[in-house]
Amino acid sequence: MTKDPFRQLVDEITLIRDEVASLRRTSLDRDEASELHGYFMRDIESLRETYSESPEVFKDALKADRDQMARTASQAATEAAERVMGDMRDQLNQERLKFSQAAGEARREAWRWFGGFWVWLASVGTAGALLGALAMAWIGGTISAHDFGDYPGVFCSSAGGQVVEQSDGSTFCAVWIKRAPEAQN
């Protein structure tokens, strides 16, 4: 039995939340960082006291050691932070991929649920027929004088005229006809 895509998405989000909480527990918080800083500062202060009390020969060596220790501590802290950030980045990328896959599955399921291709095809066909009918109604009602002049036999009755046959067999379109007063009765 397959899991509902929405349920999969909820499970994936819960998993991401748990992993972020786990990462928070494994990284230094403010108090721990402050304690580590205090530890280094006490060591450096101890070196200063030793430096001021030691003979001149050892002062240069202690200064170099102190500087080296500060560089090493800084480098170690930087590497640890980069390692933690790299792990977090990898985990977030994995979760993003899982989320994307779940969203794609949900989209495909919705597509199947709502009829997919045939619904799309019917809606496109209906929209095309409606647009075609509207275009024909709009275009059909506007006949230009140029079209009327080129095809008077076709457009005569739609323009409100009447085709009149003459005795020699020719015809013309009469648009305005004024009848004699005795013929109107």
- The verdict on 33 and 109 lying in the same domain is yes
- The verdict on 107 and 147 lying in the same domain is no
Instruction: For residues 168 and 151, give the distance between their C-alpha atoms in angstroms, rounded to a whole number.
Output: 21
- The verdict on 100 and 171 lying in the same domain is no
Q: What is the reported pLDDT for 127?
A: 92
Mean pLDDT for the stretch of residues 19-43: 72
Instruction: For residues 112 and 5, give the distance between their C-alpha atoms in angstroms, rounded to a whole number.
Output: 13
Q: What is the reported pLDDT for 9?
A: 76
The answer to whether residue 127 is domain-embedded is: no
Is the pTM higher than 0.75? The answer reads no
Q: CB–CB of 19/99 below 8 Å?
A: no
Q: How many domains does the chain have?
A: 2
Nearest to 148 by CA among 173, 169, 177: 173
- The verdict on 111 and 147 lying in the same domain is no
Instruction: For residues 119 and 111, give the distance between their C-alpha atoms in angstroms, rounded to a whole number.
Output: 10
User: Residue 32's domain spans which residues?
Assistant: 5-116
φ/ψ of residue 4, rounded to 5: -60, 130
- pLDDT, tens only, 32-85: 777 777 777 777 777 777 666 656 656 677 777 888 888 888 888 888 888 888
- pLDDT, tens only, 131-153: 988 887 766 655 566 666 677 77
DSSP bridge pairs for 172: 164
Angle at alpha carbon of residue 60, lines to 64 and 69, rounded to 5°: 20
- The verdict on 110 and 147 lying in the same domain is no
